[in-house]
């Protein structure tokens, strides 16, 4: 469950890292499938509202939660974001699913809010004792050429790099 960074905003859906993940899993003959329930513009509140029906419909064994970027870009209260992410992790676990929380960073011009925003992901992962990918866009963040003209959304060329960065954090959950 994610936002535009996982929904493939501005690129073909089959180029987005979740689609590449599905191909990688199939190629390794792992007994998993991928349902990308990411929506462009999604906030943690929206993800929280959609999670229960998704758990019932898909009955996942693993959930990657890649939400929070829109909360941060909109300057929403961080306690609400943390509450939403905590509730999502708790619900996912109650359904029997393992969780990988994918953190995100904000541009430095967001000042102290950006620092607290990013540290929220690590705090939640420690409290919940869940897997954490510290920064989803880490391998591409400093390379302008990996972003579309809006400077926010990764290009198709960046998607394999995002997947390869995420894979080591996901792999222990696949066992």
Give the active site residues.
4, 150, 153
- Of 30, 103, 84, nearest in space to 62 by CA: 30
CA 126 vs CA 122, 131, 134, 147, 165: distances in Å: 6, 9, 12, 31, 20
Burial of 147 (0-12, 13-18, 19+ CB in 10 A): middle
For 105, the token pair is 């960073």
CA–CA distance, 148 with 9 (Å, rounded to integer) = 10
Burial of 112 (0-12, 13-18, 19+ CB in 10 A): exposed
């Amino acid at each position: 469950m994610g936002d535009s960074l996982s929904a493939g905003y501005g690129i073909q859906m089959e180029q987005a890292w979740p689609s590449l993940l599905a191909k990688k899993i199939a190629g390794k003959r792992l007994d998993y499938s991928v349902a990308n329930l990411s929506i462009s513009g999604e906030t943690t509140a929206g993800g929280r509202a959609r999670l229960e029906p998704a758990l019932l419909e898909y009955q996942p064994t693993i959930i990657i939660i890649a939400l929070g970027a829109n909360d941060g870009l909109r300057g929403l209260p961080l306690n609400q974001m943390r509450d939403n992410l905590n509730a999502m992790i708790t619900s996912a676990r109650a359904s029997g699913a393992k969780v990988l929380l994918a953190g995100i960073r904000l541009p430095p011009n967001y000042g102290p809010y950006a620092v607290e925003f990013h540290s929220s992901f690590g705090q939640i992962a420690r409290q919940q004792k869940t897997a954490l990918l510290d920064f989803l866009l880490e391998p591409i963040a400093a390379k302008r050429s990996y972003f579309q003209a809006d400077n926010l959304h990764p290009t198709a060329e960046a998607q394999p790099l995002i997947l390869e960065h995420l894979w080591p954090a996901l792999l222990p959950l696949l066992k």
